[in-house]
Amino acid sequence: MANKPLKIVSPAPGVAEIYDLGRGPESTSQRVQRLQAEARLLAREEIERLDRDLRRLAQQARAVADGGEAYPTGIRELAGRISVDTAQRAEILRALLDRSVS
């Protein structure tokens, strides 16, 4: 690629200039493989975000469960169960994600 100069290609509406970096045309199978790899990466990012959110929810539920008399008894008990259940599900999610990468 170092030997290939940048070349200006037809401008798109609203874009001043587009440069062809000399990769050449992609075959259909190459494009499908690239798009599938991008989709897998986006899916992994979404799963990791879900994992973080579940862990944060478990912590918040634990804070309510441990909040003492400021919270009604039934709410504290429910929050305690939510905390445990959500933390367990986050662990399962993480294990499945780690296994899928291997």
Q: Note the pLDDT of residue 9.
A: 61
Please tell me the pTM assigned to this model. Answer: 0.68
* CA–CA distance, 24 with 36 (Å, rounded to integer): 20
* Structure-token pair, residue 84: 């445990």
Q: What is the pLDDT of residues 31-87, one digit of tens each?
A: 899 899 999 999 999 999 999 999 999 999 999 999 999 999 999 999 999 999 999
Write the Ramachandran bin of 72: left for phi over 0, alpha for psi from -120 to 50, otherwise beta. Answer: beta
* CA–CA distance, 81 with 61 (Å, rounded to integer): 8
How many C-beta neighbours within 10 Å does residue 35 have? 10
Q: What is the pLDDT of residues 9-18, one digit of tens each?
A: 666 666 666 5
Band of residue 101 on the pLDDT scale cut at 50, 70, 90:
confident
The SS3 assignment for 19 reads: strand
